[in-house]
Chain A
Amino acid sequence: MTAAAEVIRVALPAHLRTLARVQGEVRVQVSGQVTQCSVLDALEASYPMLRGTIRDQRTGKRRAFVRFFACEQDLSHEQPDAPLPEAVAAGAEPYLIVGAMAGG
């Protein structure tokens, strides 16, 4: 929501934390508007091994069994360029990347 560089909190699912070799939330810096697309761009720039695991590398389309939550809302079907909630942009709430619950 703001043009200044913001530090965004991102919560990854366990498998992606292992892949990225991180524990707990990660923090990424986003310049310009804080959107799902800009957060994921910053996340993949910091952790290139995550490219393709959350969204398609070419089209940017969310993988079918990945969900995006924040502030108790399901943002999975929002436009990638829609602004994220102010609480996420301000770092008060994390942006949650969730592996959909399914068996196997």
Chain B
Amino acid sequence: MSGVRVLVGTRKGAFVLNSDGTREQWDVSGPHFPGWEIYHVKGSPADPDRLYASQSSGWFGQLIQRSDDGGATWEPVGNDFSYQGETGTHQWYDGTPHPWEFARVWHLEPSPDDPDTVYAGVEDAGLFRSTDGGKNWQELPGLRGHKTGPSWQPGAGGMCLHTIILDPSAPGRIFTAISAAGAFRSDDAGETWRPVNRGLRSEGIPDPDAEVGHCVHRLAMHPSRPSVLYMQKHWDVMRSDDAGESWREVSGDLPTDFGFPIDVHAHEPDTVYVVPITSDSHHFPPEGKLRVYRSRTGGDEWEPLTTGLPQEHCYVNVLRDAMAVDFLDSCGIYFGTTGGQVYGSADAGDSWAPIVRDLPAVLSVEVQTLS
């Protein structure tokens, strides 16, 4: 029977949530790596038993853990993320040049074809790749070395490369997003890069439509239609129909266009999900109501999804990597909150129920659909 495995990274460890295809009863294992920040856990599409986890702490730095049995056991692998070549500088918060310094791995993106190949997006922004199951990591320095690199500045959460999308239809095409530099695209497997931010407008930077400097929070793509990208920017939900060459705003009737995650229905490329958050200062849901918004029209028209979600006194946030969908016939969608809840919906968001309520603050949620 089919099932799902939800991989949850939190401020104080990782958790693995398993269920059969009904997604009604859940087995919860963890905390794995208790006390450590787990920014991201993700499984290999080519081998669902192969998982990678980013484990870090302010005291002891970065580790990468690998599981070959679906999260039952883990082994630390390589953790040397040394930038390649001249390190150079980016802009610091005060506008002065600041050397690139590795802080942590925000996002791990396993290859769709090879369990031993995995990409890592790091802070300070850089892209690394391992082709030996995480033992050794090599930077793809063309991104950090882009001519605009010295002008990049960190967002409030650090200068993180948080989104990596490997285009399934165009080998060699990779999208990344950096806060607060913007979105970038490579068409040669990460060798060279160019910004793809035309159409973005950000009022918090001196030139609102600059080539770089935009605080992109998240990108999403449906694998069947890779030319269409969705973006949750600091403010504005955006859409591109030409693989990032240009963007248009599709915030439409959202109560606020600020938020962090954005994701696409597994079977409906025009069905998109966001979690509107009041900002710039609050960073919790409007009116204390936790609402996922769904568009079935690829943006512009949005409906609130509230059944089973708290509609009063709710002041949690949902972070950029903390939403995912499964690929079962009735698409499941999951998200985690900074209050430690992981909510799941087995009916594409029509109704929700908490899978767990009291985890540490959730940093990331991924899901594997198991056959």
Say if the beta carbon of B58 comes within 8 Å of chain A: yes
In the assembled complex, the CB of A103 is this many whole angstroms from the nearest CB of chain B, namely 10
Whether B60 contacts A15 by the Cβ 8 Å rule is yes
CB contacts (< 8 Å) of B76 on chain A: these are: 19, 49
Complex-state Cα separation, A66 to B61, whole angstroms: 10
Which of A53, A57, A58, A102 lies in contact with B60, CB distance below 8 A? A53
Judged by DSSP, the binding face of B is loop
Say if the beta carbon of A40 comes within 8 Å of chain B: no
Which range holds the interface residue count of chain A?
10 to 19
CB contacts (< 8 Å) of A5 on chain B: these are: none
CB contacts (< 8 Å) of B60 on chain A: these are: 15-16, 19, 53-54, 63, 66, 99
Complex-state Cα separation, A53 to B63, whole angstroms: 8
In the assembled complex, the CB of B100 is this many whole angstroms from the nearest CB of chain A, namely 14
CB contacts (< 8 Å) of B62 on chain A: these are: 52
Complex-state Cα separation, A43 to B79, whole angstroms: 17
Say if the beta carbon of B82 comes within 8 Å of chain A: yes
Complex interface residues of chain B between 41 and 63 (CB less than 8 A to chain A): 57-63
Whether B82 contacts A102 by the Cβ 8 Å rule is no
CB contacts (< 8 Å) of A99 on chain B: these are: 59-60
Whether A15 contacts B80 by the Cβ 8 Å rule is no
Complex interface residues of chain A between 41 and 58 (CB less than 8 A to chain B): 49, 51-54, 57-58
Whether B79 contacts A51 by the Cβ 8 Å rule is yes
Q: In the complex where A15-B59, A52-B62, A63-B60 touch, is A58 in contact with B82 (Cβ < 8 A)?
A: yes
- Identify which of B35, B36, B58, B60 gathers the most chain A CB atoms within 10 Å of its CB: B60
CB contacts (< 8 Å) of B79 on chain A: these are: 51-52, 57
In the assembled complex, the CB of B38 is this many whole angstroms from the nearest CB of chain A, namely 13
Chain A to chain B: the 9 pairs with minimum beta-carbon distance, closest first: A53-B60, A49-B76, A65-B59, A99-B59, A52-B79, A57-B80, A52-B61, A53-B61, A58-B82
Interface residues of B (CB under 8 A from A): 35-36, 57-63, 76, 79-80, 82
Interchain Cβ contacts under 8 Å between A and B, 7 examples = A15-B59, A19-B60, A49-B76, A54-B60, A57-B82, A102-B59, A104-B58
